[in-house]
Amino acid sequence: MRPAILNPLFSETATLKGVGAALVRQLARLKLLRVIDLVFHMPVMAIERVQVEQIDESLVGRPIVVNLTVVRHDSGGPRSPLRVRAVDSGGQWVDLVFFGQSGAWARAKLPVQETRRISGRLDRYGQSLQISHPDVALPGEAMGPMLREPVYPLTEGVTNKRMGQIVGMALERAPDLPEWIEPSVLERHGWPAWRAALATAHDLRDEGRAKDRLAYDELLANQLALLLVRRDTRERRGRALAGDGRLTRPLVAGLPWALTGAQRRVLGEITGDMAQSSPMLRLLQGDVGSGKTLVALIAMLAAVEAGAQAALLAPTEILARQHFASISKMLAGLPVRVAILTGRDKGKVRLDLLDDLAMGRIDILIGTHAIFQEAVDYHDLGLVVVDEQHRFGVAQRLLLTGKAKAPPHLLAMTATPIPRSLQLTQYGEMDASQIDELPPGRQPIETRVMAVERMDEVVEGLGRHLAGGGQAYWVCPLVEGSESGDEAAAELRATMLKARFGDTVGLVHGRMKPAEKDAVMAAFSAGQLGLLVATTVIEVGVDVPNATLMIIEAAERFGLAQLHQLRGRVGRGSGRSVCLLLRGGDLSETAKARLKLMRETNDGFRIAEEDLRLRGAGEILGVRQSGEAAFRVADPERTAKFVAVARDDARLLLDRDGGLAGARGQAARVLLYLFERDAGVGMLRSG
């Protein structure tokens, strides 16, 4: 249960004074639903006002604070604004202008012959100087807030002033919380206590250290949660699976090539884990084309040799079918029963398959999420492999291992090179292996950037490529904010290219019926189609070695990591491969620099680091929408700077404190709830 001390923070915004239904709705548009959301709604900058004794021309356009004496009220007509004429201490006239306010209001607030402290932006209007809708205070009043105003991200109908007030009320509700940070860490950085840090972060006066502290809090909560997940999983008794080689040996012997050194090394790490009874939690990274599928297959065969079943989870239907086809081919002649299950399999076929699975008549099941639905019962699931892991979050990973009586070993694979800081925050519960070597004979992909005006030339070149028996991909632009727009663009492009190249052109996009999609993919794999026009559905895993040309339209609209993934669809055979990035006109300097980086390097890690810097974690992990990768305060820079320390601090806390029982442990529980990582708390040993 959430510690009572946090309750004021988790109440709804409607509980704040003066926040009615309409405002609640407006705030909800910014995902500000509870007091805690407001507390972490940080200002982006502060407006600094200059305080002056006397006004002069040079101040026009600037926010100022000045003492003015009211001379006279001009009430104005029905359509014209209310004007209050005032002078500064040197006799300079200034008009204070109000739209939609009554004369009575103005007389009460700005009595004639009295002096008030006025704050607002000085403007010129014809011959006169004026300030519209100024803030008004008594001359002696504290002027802090009038001199500096934090500027908040806003939504329609909520002014910055109002937002500031609401956030202010939320901050007042924030209680003093017990300290969860290691005292030496706190001291080393000179960090303030939690509540003081919040106030400073909102005030934006020397807020650097305060924000560091708040980011660290979040990273610490994240690391604690991941380590709790890890500890809980590892402490459950799984099953040691040691293969005897009767399947893996003939498979490897039958391959036309040898395993790479990196493949052998990671296989050693994986089978080493599987031979232990505590369940494996391992992330396998390897750039596109590094041969992860084969590694997964060998691991799965080892599980089968040891008498267990294995499951391979793919993110898309296309990929599941392709894995099924290539794995079935590689296993030809071996006594292994492989099956596929996707959302499309229904009725009797599905029921029979489920029966076979439950009776242990299937050794390896390949499929989409359908393989982990409620009704799916395994006879004895020993190993789960998740392909293209970056699409799955921690919660989903937990679900996968929850399926079996004894938790299965888990191998997650991703082609996205993940920078170290991101690996810790997103996969911190897992061990990591890396395939850092491509199979021999691969030629680097040559990447070129071309202006879209040269489309004709590109189409000519494509024609020559197809005429020479080559195959190619044509990836269509993402249409901002509209999924159906993607497909329309792809259809249009396919129509144009069909008019030119005829029936050799195929089209796949996300909205097509699965069977149609498969048929097109199969025809392309078999070489019956020369050109595949597609949306990003081909992003992950599709493998057609004869396709050596890739054209990406409006490349500037894609993330770099995504471009790298797409590009990895070519360069899979021994032929020379080319990737053409078509770019629109009017690119920003950053956009140009990004495309240049794609041209210069094939190094997925460098590209991922750059994407992380420029676009944030969600872009790399492909979970921008789901919010899985989102932090409230820990930006990428601060994450890179502090996550390793947070990791150590979390580990120390758990190791030394056992079940977070001590005083700091209790504080850390509050922290987990504060950042809503409390799923991890359920895994705490009681006490």
Residues making contact with ligand ADP (CB under 6 A): 257, 259-260, 263, 286, 288-294, 415, 439, 541, 543, 545, 572
Q: Which two tokens stand for residue 307?
A: 């008498």
- Range in contact with Mg ion (rule: CB under 5 A) among 358-366, 430-438, 535-543, 550-558: 535-543
Q: Which does 677 bind (CB under 5 to 8 A by kind): ligand ADP, Mg ion, none?
A: none
Query: Which residue, 222 or 290, is less far from Mg ion as judged by CB?
Result: 290
Query: Which residue, 530 or 541, is less far from Mg ion as judged by CB?
Result: 541
**Minimum distance from CB of 621 to ligand ADP (Å)?**
17
Q: Which does 286 bind (CB under 5 to 8 A by kind): Mg ion, ligand ADP, none?
A: ligand ADP
What is the side-by-side order of every strand in the sheet holding 338-341? 338-341, 364-367, 309-313, 381-386, 409-414, 281-286, 431-435
Name the β-bridge partners of 310. 364, 383
Q: Comparing C-alpha atoms, which of 141, 143, 131, 145 is closest to residue 55?
A: 131
**Minimum distance from CB of 260 to ligand ADP (Å)?**
4
Contact of 309 with 382, CB cutoff 8 Å: yes
Query: Which residue, 566 or 634, is less far from ligand ADP as judged by CB?
Result: 566
Cβ-closest residue to Mg ion? 541
**Minimum distance from CB of 293 to Mg ion (Å)?**
5
Query: Which residue, 204 or 318, is less far from Mg ion as judged by CB?
Result: 318
Query: Which residue, 202 or 391, is less far from ligand ADP as judged by CB?
Result: 391
- Range in contact with Mg ion (rule: CB under 5 A) among 137-145, 274-282, 539-547, 634-642: 539-547
Q: Which does 439 bind (CB under 5 to 8 A by kind): ligand ADP, Mg ion, none?
A: ligand ADP
DSSP string, 228-248: HHHHHHHHS--------STTH
Q: Which does 317 bind (CB under 5 to 8 A by kind): ligand ADP, Mg ion, none?
A: none
Report d(CA 452, CA 66) in Å as an integer.
55
Q: Comparing C-alpha atoms, which of 442, 444, 438, 443 is closest to residue 262?
A: 438
Query: Which residue, 36 or 542, is less far from Mg ion as judged by CB?
Result: 542
**Minimum distance from CB of 391 to Mg ion (Å)?**
13
Q: Which does 137 bind (CB under 5 to 8 A by kind): ligand ADP, Mg ion, none?
A: none
The backbone torsions φ and ψ at residue 41, rounded to the nearest 5 degrees and listed phi first, read: -85, 95
**Minimum distance from CB of 271 to ligand ADP (Å)?**
17
Report d(CA 79, CA 246) in Å as an integer.
91
**Minimum distance from CB of 256 to ligand ADP (Å)?**
8
Query: Which residue, 330 or 394, is less far from ligand ADP as judged by CB?
Result: 330
Which segments of 553-608 are extended strands (E)? Answer: 578-583
DSSP state letter for 19: -
**Minimum distance from CB of 361 to ligand ADP (Å)?**
27
Q: Which does 125 bind (CB under 5 to 8 A by kind): Mg ion, ligand ADP, none?
A: none
- Range in contact with Mg ion (rule: CB under 5 A) among 174-182, 541-549, 610-618, 634-642: 541-549
Q: Which does 322 bind (CB under 5 to 8 A by kind): Mg ion, ligand ADP, none?
A: none
**Minimum distance from CB of 433 to ligand ADP (Å)?**
13
Q: Which two tokens stand for residue 242?
A: 């040691």
- Mark 643-660 as b/e (b = at least 16 C-beta within 10 Å): bebbbebbeebbeeeeeb
**Minimum distance from CB of 298 to ligand ADP (Å)?**
10
CA angle, 549 then 552 then 557, to 5°: 160
Sign of CA dihedral 461, 462, 466, 470: positive
Report d(CA 454, CA 421) in Å as an integer.
40
Give SS3 for 552. strand
Q: Comparing C-alpha atoms, which of 511, 286, 289 is closest to residue 418?
A: 286
Q: Which strand (E) or helix (H) includes residue 51?
A: strand 50-52
Residues 6+ apart with CB under 8 A from 623: 390, 391, 393, 629
Q: Which strand (E) or helix (H) includes residue 322?
A: helix 317-330
Query: Which residue, 233 or 260, is less far from ligand ADP as judged by CB?
Result: 260
Cβ-closest residue to ligand ADP? 291
Q: Which does 575 bind (CB under 5 to 8 A by kind): Mg ion, ligand ADP, none?
A: none
**Minimum distance from CB of 262 to ligand ADP (Å)?**
9
CB atoms within 10 A of CB 453: 11
- Range in contact with Mg ion (rule: CB under 5 A) among 45-53, 116-124, 540-548, 588-596: 540-548
- 3-class SS letters over 509-529: CCCCCHHHHHHHHHHHHCCCC
Report d(CA 644, CA 664) in Å as an integer.
20
The two counts, helices (H) then strands (E), for the chain are 24, 22
Query: Which residue, 107 or 265, is less far from ligand ADP as judged by CB?
Result: 265
Query: Which residue, 428 or 541, is less far from Mg ion as judged by CB?
Result: 541
Give SS3 for 675. coil
Residue 360 CA from chain centroid, whole number: 38
Q: Which does 289 bind (CB under 5 to 8 A by kind): Mg ion, ligand ADP, none?
A: ligand ADP
DSSP state letter for 317: H
Query: Which residue, 340 or 540, is less far from ligand ADP as judged by CB?
Result: 540
**Minimum distance from CB of 337 to ligand ADP (Å)?**
22
Query: Which residue, 259 or 398, is less far from ligand ADP as judged by CB?
Result: 259
**Minimum distance from CB of 294 to ligand ADP (Å)?**
5
DSSP string, 444-512: PPEEEEEEGGGHHHHHHHHHHHHHTT-EEEEEPPPPTT-HHHHHHHHHHHHHHHHHHHGGGEEEE-TTS
User: Which position among 238, 541, 636, 680 is part of the footprint of Mg ion (CB under 5 A)?
Assistant: 541
Query: Which residue, 310 or 650, is less far from ligand ADP as judged by CB?
Result: 310
Is there binding between residue 470 and Mg ion (CB under 5 A)?
Answer: no
Q: What share of the chain is helix, strand, coil (3-state, %, to 5)?
A: 45, 20, 35
Rounded to the nearest 10 degrees, what angle do helices 317-330 and 514-525 cross at? 50
**Minimum distance from CB of 365 to ligand ADP (Å)?**
19
Query: Which residue, 243 or 289, is less far from ligand ADP as judged by CB?
Result: 289
Residues 6+ apart with CB under 8 A from 555: 449, 563, 581, 582, 583, 595, 598
Is there binding between residue 616 and Mg ion (CB under 5 A)?
Answer: no
Query: Which residue, 506 or 541, is less far from Mg ion as judged by CB?
Result: 541
**Minimum distance from CB of 620 to ligand ADP (Å)?**
17
Size of interface with Mg ion, in residues (CB under 5 A):
1
**Minimum distance from CB of 612 to ligand ADP (Å)?**
21
Q: Which does 404 bind (CB under 5 to 8 A by kind): Mg ion, ligand ADP, none?
A: none
- What track of x and - describes contact with Mg ion for positions 208 through 247 (by CB under 5 A)? ----------------------------------------
Q: What is the contact surface with Mg ion in residues (CB under 5 A)?
A: 541
